Amino acid sequence: MACKLQPSVMPYRFTLEGSSTLKSEGISPRITISTDVKDLTSLLKDDDLQQYISAICLITIEDTVNNTTRGAQVEVVDILDEMVSFSIDLSDTMSFNWWDSFTDIWCETYILVNTTQMSEDYSITISEEYLDMKGEIKKTYIIQSGEISDIVIDARDTVEEIAERTTAEEDLHYD
């Protein structure tokens, strides 16, 4: 059920980073999604209730060439400053490689109120229609039909940068 208060998580910047070839150095394909949390009322900011409210980001990658879809979900529980950053390591969650074919990558962001846990903690009964209420779900494309969105910062390692870094590291070992 959608939450009547309709708080939302609005992405405003995506950063594509890393390289699957450098995972051993701690550099792996990653998408960082910067968002604003809108319309959080004073009720949702209540100290006793904040532990039941979180921001959710579901990222989906569709590969139409191989006819597959992969996804990962990230949850952030500290939303009171009304800014949330989701960081998704794609190689761990999706066996992802930037050089694989894909045509669409999108995310769906929303606020989740965990009324199930709240009812257990306070020993109250909550009607089924109010269990795990979601705010407005915002679907935003990062890459659509192979085209990178205008709000994306592409900080992925290029083949040339990887080669330069590898050559520099080899030079250090022989000094």
Domain membership of residue 55 (yes or no) is yes
pLDDT at residue 175 is higher than 50? no
Domain membership of residue 146 (yes or no) is yes
User: For the CA atoms of 80, 84, 90, 91, what is the dihedral angle to 10 degrees?
Assistant: -60
Domain membership of residue 2 (yes or no) is no
Residues of the domain holding 17:
8-173
pLDDT per residue as tens digits for the range 100-134: 666 788 999 999 988 888 889 999 998 888 888 88
Domain total in the chain: 1
Domain membership of residue 3 (yes or no) is no
Q: How many beta carbons lie within 10 A of that of residue 81, not counting itself?
A: 7
- Kindly indicate the confidence band of residue 143, based on its pLDDT and cuts at 50, 70 and 90: confident
- In angstroms, what CA-CA distances link 136 with 7, 18, 35? 6, 31, 14
Domain membership of residue 46 (yes or no) is yes
Q: What is the pTM of this model?
A: 0.76
Which residues face 140 on adjacent strands? 107
Domain membership of residue 33 (yes or no) is yes
| Structural contact between residues 9 and 138, judged by C-beta atoms closer than 8 angstroms | yes
Domain membership of residue 67 (yes or no) is yes
Tokens, residue 61: 């990658």
- CATH number of the domain bearing residue 133: 2.60.40
Domain membership of residue 1 (yes or no) is no
